[in-house]
Structure 1
Amino acid sequence: MDDTELFGLVVRLDSTRGQQLLQDVRDTTSTNSVICESMLTAFVHQEHPCTCAVASTVICFNSLYQADDLRRRYRGQLKPRCSEGDVFRTDCTANEEVIKRRGMVLEELLVLCESLGLQPHIWTCDSSTAAEQSKEKTTYLSHKTITSTSEFRELIKEVFSQVHARLIVNYYMPALKTSFPFGHFSPLAAYHEADDRVLLLDVYRESFVGWVKIDDLYCSMDTVDSDSNLKRGCLMIQIL
């Protein structure tokens, strides 16, 4: 693979190899391909430096919005294609100025998604022995622990087999060997099983959308968020 096709450990979607992987997904008639098309159509960049979590939620919401339940629930409240501003105006629990200044942590994103009528579930990534031993001892029902790449892969397969489910990942960008020194949120759009990669819709305007190995992505999530002092992970969004 030519180095120009890579952005750190990510195969850029706009590269020849990236387009080949996308075409492979499109050539299937699976739920995976349906989700991929709706997520690509819904894709937007974050509007502010620290609103990656909100932008990721907007993409997932707009991708799911075609479902009748969401159309009925938000008629007159959110536009058919909502924006970050629409989310802030609808969700009175989100402190817009604080989020624009410092961003969000996973549990704050869970609360925001719940306020939008979605059903979110948190998985933190922790491969330590202690995490494996205590994985059944979670503090609340929506919080689980993924202790290995294989468990993360199974979650990926589960999400991309459900038309009404989406996944947002919270990861440390330097672990993917990019030049951006901070944690980040972005949604996943597709799973390429043969290449063991997922399509990461990076919402940061100076970055690239692309395909990342599941093992590399898991390692970037198995890191500590300095704002919460907890491990990063992912958030699955479903329609209630």
Structure 2
Amino acid sequence: MSRYSLMRVVKRVSRREWIVAVLTAILAACAPLPPAANQAADQPSHQASYPAPASGAVRPADGPLPVPPNLIALTQPAGQKRLMASAHNQSYWPLSEYFETQRNEAYCSVATSVMALNALGIRRPESTQYPDFPYFSQEDFFRSVDPQVANAARVSKEGMTLDQLGAALSAFPVEVRRFHASDLTLSQFRDLIRDTTGHSDRFALLNFRRVEIGEAGGGHWSPLAAYDAASDSALLLDVARYKYPAVWVPVTQLYAGALAVDNMSGLSRGLVIVGTRAN
């Protein structure tokens, strides 16, 4: 082989090896992180870590956490049948039309609120997201709220207590009632849920602690959309849809979750009922 031919072979091999090396580097950069690294990357600095329930919650690679065995997901046949058979499901239809996912891990109270405000059909404000269409949004929620009551920066780190959210919602043209679970008996708590979910012009916003219903996590807000007397359970439309789906929860467990003390206020959690104002 001549020297010229040999140099051409060497050049071809070098180029081929160079291409392989580049492709290998690109694929390595795109490869998923190990599970531990992913978990660390997803954990915001302000968010506390909570232990999983005693049964152990293993995160699937392609979806939310598994539903605890004491709960029934709405998407299961039994969950759907329960909704259709319930005599107290009128809150479900307007709330489901405006179902939101909280925009960050501390915005559960905000997502729950804008769902209810939009579902009530009251006059909507101008929206920065949709300039041509008035709409209540998580981005604009605090525009009408006294910053001394609550503001976006603080809520993004701490969330909102029961009394804070009640005060914040009072800035909107709605009727607001607050109920700490410690001031209610189980029967009174159940009656509030049943009576509210039987209407489409008022909604029950629940503040509870997840551990008491068998889920992983701490304090949380989500609306209740229906009540089923036969199973004595209520439908929780979880606004952390990346974590848990909508589920039916026994009322006794919801009550236990609402009785849990909020460390920020030192008071029990509970319900905020928001509805249209009487003329």
Fold conserved between structures, TM > 0.5:
yes
In structure 1, which of residues 4, 9, 17 is the aligned counterpart of residue 78 of structure 2? Answer: 17
Aligned residue pairs total 206
**Equivalent residues in 2 for 1:58-77 (5 A)?**
58-65=114-121, 70-71=122-123, 74=124, 76=126
* Cα drift, residue 6 of structure 1: 4.2
Pairing 1:3-152 to 2, within 5 Å after superposition: 6-7=67-68, 9-25=70-86, 32-65=88-121, 70-71=122-123, 74=124, 76=126, 79-93=133-147, 94-126=150-182, 145-146=183-184, 148-152=185-189
Using the TM superposition, give the Cα deviation of residue 47 of structure 1 relative to its aligned residue in structure 2, in angstroms: 0.5
The residue identity in structure 2 corresponding to 1:160 is T
C-alpha spacing 1:35/1:97, structure 2 compared with 1 (3 Å): same
Letter in 2 for 1:216: Q
AA aligned to 1:158 is D
CA, structure 1 residues 239+77, in 2 after alignment: closer, same or farther (shift >3 Å)? farther
CA contact (8 A) 2:197 2:224 kept: no
Deviation at 1:56, TM superposition (A): 0.5
* Cα drift, residue 41 of structure 1: 1.2
Higher Cα radius of gyration: 2
Structure 1 range deviating more: 102-111 or 76-85: 76-85
Q: Distance in 2 between matches of 1:90 and 1:179?
A: 33
**In 1: Cα distance, 2:259 partner to 2:106 partner:** 21
Contact 2:91 2:196 in 1 (8 A): no
Would the aligned equivalents of 2:68 and 2:215 in 1 still touch at CA under 8 Å? yes
Alpha-carbon distance in structure 1 between the residues aligned to 2:134 and 2:194? 28
Of structures 1 and 2, the one scoring higher in RCO (CA 8 A, sep 6+) is 1
**1:170 counterpart SS class:** strand
Correspondence for 2:264: 227
1:239 aligns with 2:276: yes
2:39: which partner in 1? none
- Say yes or no: does 1:163 pair with 2:163: no
Instruction: Tell me the amino acid that sits aligned with residue 84 of structure 1.
Output: Q
Which residue of the other structure, out of 206, 215, 227, is the alignment partner of 2:252?
Answer: 215
- Structure 2 residue corresponding to 1:200, chosen from 223, 236, 246: 236
- In structure 1, the residue corresponding to 2:244 is in which secondary structure? coil
Higher strand share: 1
Q: Quickly say closer, same or farther: Cα 1:109–1:8, change in 2 above 3 A.
A: farther
Give the TM-score of the pair, scaled to structure 1.
0.79
Distance 1:50 1:81 in 2: 21
- Contact 1:5–1:11 (CA<8 Å) still a contact in 2? no
Residue number in structure 2 paired with 1:191: 227
* Structure 1 stretches lacking a partner, 5+ long: 127-144
3-state secondary structure, aligned to 1:171: strand
Q: Tell me what 2:50 maps to.
A: none
User: Which of 212, 227, 231 does residue 175 from structure 1 map onto?
Assistant: 212
Structure 1: how far apart are the matches of 2:233 and 2:223?
14
The aligned amino acid for 2:267 is L
Deviations 1:64-103 (A, max 9, x none): 12xxxx22xx354695542101212333533110000111
Query: Whole-Å Cα distance in 1 between the matches of residues 189 and 70 of structure 2?
Result: 18
CA 1:164–1:50 in structure 2 vs 1: closer, same or farther (change >3 Å)?
A: same
| C-alpha separation in 2, matches of 1:185 and 1:220 | 11
Q: Tell me the distance in 1 between the aligned counterparts of 2:195 and 2:113.
A: 19
